[in-house]
Amino acid sequence: MNPLRLLLLGAPGSGKGTQTSKLLNQFKHIKSVSSGDLLRQRIQQKTDLGRIASEYIAQGKLLPDSLMNDLVVGELSTRGWLSADSSFLLDGFPRTLEQARSLRTQLAPHKASLNLVVELDVPTDVILERIENRYVHVPSGRVYNLTYNPPKVSGKDDITGEPLTKRPDDTAEVFGKRLKNYAETVGPLKHFYSELGILKKVSGSTSDIIFPQLSKLVVQKLHQS
């Protein structure tokens, strides 16, 4: 089996976190890192980076590229994933051309470059409906929706029983800014990965329609000769 080093690309609310959970459930050897989850954990832990992140996130702005590169590559290194045979999934990073270039430069010496990038293509009106009902468990990054995947006990995480919270950047105003940021940055990013021949796209208005398409791409990559 080949290693899989996958980036999920997609607008805020397109279901990156949701698809990540589904993939980890199906492919037990794959692990994941979400840049947004890392930042929210730093905010909860009240670290220096957490203080910086909360200001950017509250305004719907992207954090500086160098900071994000250090954070995510540092995490990959700490977890021991910088090797040619490791498989991992990235959610939310890279999300600018600069981040993509820098990550590629840093992964290349370890022969651990990304080998699949999948864009989740979900209509914007569908996304807007979902966000009002989103609740998250910050320590794990588990995400719920009151209609699509509600918690078993209202307001509590299914696994730990800890309280769920609303994300401060899920207000209509901030969410609108995040969607705009995505629209502005995704073009060059897609061009970069398309030139490398590793960009794919899956479309649909529900995660259950998207997942089988995504899973098929993953299986193809794992078994490609």
Token pair of 87 as six digits: 């498989």
92 has binding-site annotation? yes
Where in 55-114 is the site for ligand G5P (CB under 6 A)?
56-57, 60-63, 68, 92-93, 95, 99
The answer to whether 13 touches 132, Cβ cutoff 8 Å, is no
Give the integer Cα–Cα distance in Å for 27 and 36. 22
Which range binds ligand G5P by CB under 6 A, 35-43, 102-110, 191-199, 215-223?
35-43
Residue in 42, 55, 188, 201 with CA at minimum distance from that of residue 121: 201
DSSP-assigned letters across all residues of 110-168: GT----EEEEEE--HHHHHHHHTTEEEETTTTEEEETTTB--SSTTB-TTT-PBPB--G
- Helix, strand or coil, per DSSP, at residue 185: helix
Q: What are phi and psi of 160, to 5 degrees?
A: -100, -20
Asked if 202 is part of the footprint of ligand G5P (rule: CB under 6 A), the reply reads no
Q: Which residues bind Mg ion (CB under 5 A)?
A: 16-17
46 has binding-site annotation? no
Residue window 12-31: x/- pattern of binding to ligand G5P, with contact defined by CB under 6 A = xxxxxxx-------------
Asked if 143 is part of the footprint of ligand G5P (rule: CB under 6 A), the reply reads yes
Q: How far is the CB of 168 from ligand G5P (least distance, A)?
A: 10
Residues lying near ligand G5P in the complex (CB under 6 A) are found at: 10, 12-18, 35-36, 39, 56-57, 60-63, 68, 92-93, 95, 99, 130, 134, 143-145, 147-149, 169, 178, 206-208
